[in-house]
């Protein structure tokens, strides 16, 4: 029996993880769950799964949950409690499914404690990738990607990396794939969050619309698989059936296919190196429309170009890119800036923030905070 701590249990990845766990009560136990403030959803989860711990970051929300929680579930509160459940002696696996840099600390704690990290929170790799990979190597922690493209590549590399030439991450292109650039200035948060293939949280939905999601994923792949930047390409594939490609020197190309349902990647991270029933329907290619592949339009999707630039610069640049993106996306979702201001804010922040080596978690956090301040100063300022 494996005890799982789900960090970000009330979100899209968290709820899909609970669905997979429910199908295998003989193999997995929900040991701990967390959310920022959504205590009502966490309450429902507690009733169904009876975890030992339920954590809420927000104090008032924790108080509300305490009044109604079933016996045997201990309610904890605050950011340090996230670290505690991630590194708890009884935790075997964590699902790192908090959105944004808020997931950094608990992911690092799990890495330090040598846990299996099922990593959905790509931002922690973008922010502190080399540090996190080093820490995991030292402690023996396993980092199993949950991002569908990285799970695909991870699955294709089970035979080893010998003769690996390059990888190609597939991108749906998001809701604005066919929208002309001049119309994007008036794009609304509702339009940006209306993803054609995947049901996801708001932040990653906007990231998909700007294609920053793919940019973050390029950096994620750089750290996860130890590849050079010129070995990581992006190809637009609107149907989201092929989840990425691995090219080998002998001309062979491996890929993993499946319907766009995150439970495939989640269950693989849980069962690796084996496989589990995940609840995902079988793919029938005879029933799919034709599969298309196009090069990405870097002029229209400036965020992707900025991510490649930050990856080449290295040092603190990926962390700065991520922080500026979180600030800009939040401002967009709150109608404070337009859709096309997102790449502008990120570009200005990358220009202004100092480039520095980040050798400690404290350094990573300081750079994140400084970059946020710089990005915030550009929110609302005109060109």
Burial class (CB in 10 A: 0-12, 13-18, 19+), 1: exposed
Q: Any contact of residue 201 with ligand NAD (CB under 6 A)?
A: yes
Which of Mg ion, ligand NAD, none interacts with 14 (beta carbon under 5 to 8 A by kind)?
Answer: ligand NAD
Q: Within the chain, what is the greatest distance between any pair of CA atoms? A: 63
Determine which residue in the list 122, 263, 302, 348 makes contact with ligand NAD, applying CB under 6 A: 122
Place of tokens 């080893």: 160
- Count of residues engaged in binding Mg ion, rule: CB under 5 A: 3
Binding-site string for ligand NAD from residue 244 to residue 273, where x marks contact by CB under 6 A and - marks none: ------------------x-----------
Sorted by sequence, the CB contacts under 8 Å of residue 39 that are 6+ apart come out as 56, 58, 61, 62, 64, 65
Q: How far is the CB of 6 from ligand NAD (least distance, A)?
A: 9
- Binds ligand NAD (CB under 6 A): choice among 13, 62, 117, 167: 13
Cβ-count burial 195-207 (b if 16+ within 10 Å, e if not): bebbebbbbbbbb
What is the nearest approach in angstroms of ligand NAD to the Cβ of residue 312? 22
Q: How many CA atoms lie within 13 A of 65 on its CB side?
A: 30
Considering only the stretches 20-28, 63-71, 98-106, 271-279, report the one whose residues sit in contact with ligand NAD under the rule CB under 6 A.
98-106
List 5, 14, 172, 246, residue binding ligand NAD (CB under 6 A): 14
- Cα separations (Å) of 135 from 130, 150, 234? 9, 20, 28
Residue closest to 182 by CA, chosen among 298, 295, 300: 300
Q: Which stretch binds ligand NAD (CB under 6 A): 10-18, 248-256, 284-292, 323-331?
A: 10-18
DSSP-based helix, strand, coil % in the chain, nearest 5: 50, 15, 35
Please give the residue whose beta carbon sits closest to Mg ion in the complex: 147
Does residue 341 bind Mg ion (CB under 5 A)? no
Nearest-angstrom CA–CA distance, 107 and 130: 14
Q: How far is the CB of 93 from Mg ion (least distance, A)?
A: 20
Q: Is 123 in the site for ligand NAD (CB under 6 A)?
A: yes
Residue 324 touches which member of ligand NAD, Mg ion, none, C-beta under 5-8 Å by kind: none
- Looking at the chain, which runs of residues are DSSP E strands? 2-7, 28-35, 53-56, 74-77, 93-96, 116-119, 142-145, 164-171, 232-236, 242-248, 253-257
Binds Mg ion (CB under 5 A): choice among 83, 84, 123, 147? 147
Interface of this chain with ligand NAD, residues 133 to 152, rule: CB under 6 A: 147
Compose the 97-136 pattern: x for residues touching Mg ion by CB under 5 A, - for all others: ----------------------------------------
Q: How many residues bind ligand NAD (CB under 6 A)?
A: 25
**CA pair distance 377, 250, nearest whole angstrom:** 51
- β-pair partners for 168: 233, 245
Locus of tokens 């136990």: 29
Q: Which residues make up the interface to Mg ion (CB under 5 A)?
A: 147-149
Q: Which residues make up the interface to ligand NAD (CB under 6 A)?
A: 8-14, 35-36, 38, 57, 97-99, 102, 120-123, 147, 198, 200-201, 204, 262
């Amino acid at each position: 029996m494996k005890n799982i701590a789900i960090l970000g249990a009330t979100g899209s990845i968290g709820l899909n993880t609970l669905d997979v766990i429910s199908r295998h009560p003989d193999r997995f136990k929900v040991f701990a769950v967390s959310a920022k403030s959504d205590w009502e959803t966490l309450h429902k989860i507690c009733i169904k799964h009876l975890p030992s711990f339920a954590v809420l970051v927000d104090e008032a929300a924790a108080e509300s949950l305490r009044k109604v929680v079933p016996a045997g579930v201990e309610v904890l509160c605050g950011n340090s409690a996230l670290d505690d459940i991630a590194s708890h002696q009884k935790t075997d696996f964590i699902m790192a499914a908090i959105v944004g840099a808020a997931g950094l600390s608990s992911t690092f704690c799990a890495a330090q404690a040598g846990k299996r990290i099922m990593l959905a929170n790509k931002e922690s790799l973008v922010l502190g990738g080399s540090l996190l990979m080093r820490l995991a190597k030292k402690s023996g922690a396993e980092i199993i990607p949950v991002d569908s493209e990285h799970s695909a590549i991870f699955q294709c590399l089970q035979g080893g990396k010998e003769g690996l030439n390059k990888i190609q991450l597939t991108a749906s292109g998001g809701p604005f794939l066919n929208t002309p650039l001049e119309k994007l200035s008036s794009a609304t948060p509702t339009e940006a969050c209306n993803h054609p293939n995947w049901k996801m949280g708001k932040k990653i939905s906007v990231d998909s619309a700007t294609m920053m999601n793919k940019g973050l994923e390029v950096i994620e792949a750089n750290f996860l698989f130890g590849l050079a930047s010129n070995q990581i390409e992006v190809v637009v594939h609107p149907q989201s059936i092929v989840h990425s490609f691995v090219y080998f020197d002998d001309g062979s190309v491996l890929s993993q296919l499946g319907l766009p349902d995150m439970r495939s990647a989640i269950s693989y991270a849980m069962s690796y190196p084996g496989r589990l029933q995940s609840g995902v329907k079988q793919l029938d290619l005879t029933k799919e429309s034709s599969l298309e592949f196009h090069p990405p339009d870097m002029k229209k999707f400036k965020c992707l170009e900025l991510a490649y630039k930050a990856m080449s610069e290295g040092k603190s640049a990926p962390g700065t890119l991520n922080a500026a993106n979180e600030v800009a996306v939040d401002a967009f979702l709150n109608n404070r800036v337009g859709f096309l201001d997102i790449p502008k804010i990120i570009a200005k922040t990358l220009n202004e923030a100092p480039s520095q080596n980040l050798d400690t978690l404290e350094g990573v956090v300081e750079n994140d905070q400084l970059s946020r301040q710089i990005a915030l100063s550009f929110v609302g300022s005109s060109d």
